[in-house]
Amino acid sequence: MTETISYKEQINTDNLPEHIAIIMDGNGRWAKAQGKHRIFGHKNGVKAVREATEGCAEIGVRFLTLYAFSTENWNRPKTEVSALMELLFLTIGREIKTLQKNNIKLNVIGNIQSLPESNRKAIKEVMEATKNNTRMTLTLALSYGAREELIEATKAIATAYKEEKISIEDIDHQRISNSLYTKNMPDPALMIRTSGEHRISNFLLWQMAYTELYFTEKLWPEFSRNDLFKAICEYQQRERRFGKTSEQINEQFITNNLPKE
Ligand code: FPP
């Protein structure tokens, strides 16, 4: 029998990724492997959502962003889209108590206007109810596409320029970051994608410029809290250089950790 390693104890809580983004992939394949309908996979995916959310909150991750429905997902069969929307609606309503109990704030990014009215209402209610929670922010990317987000940001900046509120020189990294749906969040330090696919799929394109990417063969419904901790352990083994050399990073580390006078 193979023994499962427990990764939680190996995590260095002084070096946690402040923001983790996840592409939850493989629900359909997981269901198919058991001879079930794709929707069965999505329903079981909700359990993994809970695992990841609780796991992040438990160790002190401040932001978790889940790619729950992309702009491209509207092209799926109508029955699957409706079932996903209903599942989202039910889950958001059902989880409000857990979010409150765990002091988690719910946030949603994406083209919210394109969602059914019932979903918009449920999202608004839960966001309002959890707005003062401070332990962690759980963001659901719904009807989200990074290119659409960048188009919206570009339009907002162009309008501000046209109305002479800003000059060309004011268009910098900060201006663009502040024009995105994610304006109040740090960029993800770690992005996890399940199911063995090695793609970013129109997710947080601007924000992931320096994100560490982690891919696992596990299908989303079987992704456990321990799998999340394993990904965090691997992240902690990596050296984030942001274009600098290893020597510069080590020097910076020493300087930052010198005893204060
Ligand atoms: C990708 O698997 C998953 C989705 C498109 C939907 C994710 C939704 C959930 C996990 C359920 C509800 C979520 C929340 C946040 C309450 P896929 O269908 O593309 O799988 P496949 O690649 O195997 O076909």
Mean pLDDT by 10 residues, the chain (261 residues): 84 97 98 97 97 97 98 96 97 94 97 96 97 98 98 98 98 98 97 98 98 98 98 93 78 67 54
Point out the ligand 1 atom lying closest to the alpha carbon of residue 41: 18
Point out the ligand 1 atom lying closest to the alpha carbon of residue 68: 7
Among protein residues, the one whose CA lies closest to atom 5 of ligand 1: 69
Point out the ligand 1 atom lying closest to the alpha carbon of residue 29: 23
pLDDT of residue 28: 97
Residue among 22, 39, 40, 42 to mutate when testing ligand 1 (max atoms within 8 A of CB) = 42
d(CA 45, CA 50): 9
Q: Are residues 146 and 182 in contact, defined by beta-carbon separation less than 8 angstroms?
A: no
**Phi then psi for 206, rounded to 5 degrees?**
-70, -45
Residue 153's contacts (CB-CB under 8 Å, 6 or more residues apart) are 176, 179, 180
Q: Is the CB of 81 under 6 A from ligand 1?
A: no
pLDDT of residue 66: 98
Residue 191's closest CA among 232, 220, 136, 222? Answer: 232
Q: Which residues face 214 on adjacent strands?
A: 192
pLDDT of residue 247: 80
pLDDT of residue 189: 98
| Ligand 1 geometric centre to CA of 75 (Å) | 14
pLDDT of residue 109: 98
Q: Are residues 10 and 46 in contact, defined by beta-carbon separation less than 8 angstroms?
A: no
Alpha helices by DSSP H, listed for 60-101, are 78-94, 96-101
> With left for phi above 0 and alpha for psi between -120 and 50, is residue 25 left, alpha or beta?
beta
